[in-house]
Amino acid sequence: MMISDLIQRNPIRLFGDPASPVLDPGDIGAILARAGVGKTSFLVQLALDSLLRGRNLLHVSLDQPVRKVCLWYEEVFRKITDEYGVTYTNDLWETILPHRFIMTFRPDTFEVSYFEERLNDLMEQGIFFPQIVLVDGLSFDVRARDVLSEFKITAREHGFPAWFTARAHMEDATGTDGIPSSIGHVADLFDLIVQLQYVEQEIHVDILKGKLPENTPSLVLDPSSFLIKQA
């Protein structure tokens, strides 16, 4: 099976189809879930779909070292290749790696101005030009609004969409718009909010804000592998 076949058969393409992207350049989206429900796996699947399409992806980790992030990618990629009967080869893996760059920051000191400084260094030296950015580990505390507002400006200036992970909590109240309180205070800044949550024995992929392309089927995560599939 070729990379193009893997792209077409993988349901995660519904979140990253170039013909009908769910996030335009400058937009930001959130992946919301309780701990252990698969938000990082979902984020990495979004990332791998972009990488398989040859799009440059910048992964910003605020709570994991580079090695741990790399292991996440390798593990999820192996699960995807196993799922679709593709023999995992170093050549296949090496084909997509040049399109990925990983940055790490300490979560308590993350500043958008410092991120942009490092980003400009990469671009000015011709090292890397991101087409999509993922941010994993941002704390949605009192600083979050300023951070997200600044980041959205940066995304617009550089012309890339960005995804953030957000942790939901058991004690979260839900607003009249259906958005949990853990992210409600910054929900207006997001163009799309995706929630992953258990419903009986399945992990449902629900859209709390924004919309997917027309005719997108209902999606779930396999609770054993955390791979996305049609319901």
Question: Quick one: which H or E segment has residue 48?
Answer: helix 39-52
Whole-number pLDDT of residue 231: 77
pLDDT (average), residues 33-59: 92
> Is there a contact between 11 and 4 (Cβ–Cβ < 8 Å)?
no
Return all residues near 70 (Cβ < 8 A) that are at least 6 apart.
102
Q: Which stretch, 12-16, 20-24, 83-87, 224-228, has highest mean pLDDT? A: 224-228
14 pLDDT above the threshold of 80: no
176 pLDDT above the threshold of 80: no
> Is there a contact between 102 and 70 (Cβ–Cβ < 8 Å)?
yes
pLDDT in tens, 63-85: 899 999 999 999 998 888 888 87
Question: Exposed e or buried b for every residue in 81-120, given b needs 16+ CB within 10 A?
Answer: beeeebeeeeebeeebeebbbbbbbeeeebebeebbeebe
1 pLDDT above the threshold of 60: no
Whole-number pLDDT of residue 21: 75
Per-residue pLDDT band at 12 (split at 50, 70, 90): confident
- Domains (range + CATH), the chain: 23-230 (3.40.50.300)
In terms of Cα–Cα distance, which of 183, 144, 163, 218 is closest to 42?
163
Using DSSP, how many helices (H) and how many strands (E) does the chain show?
7, 9
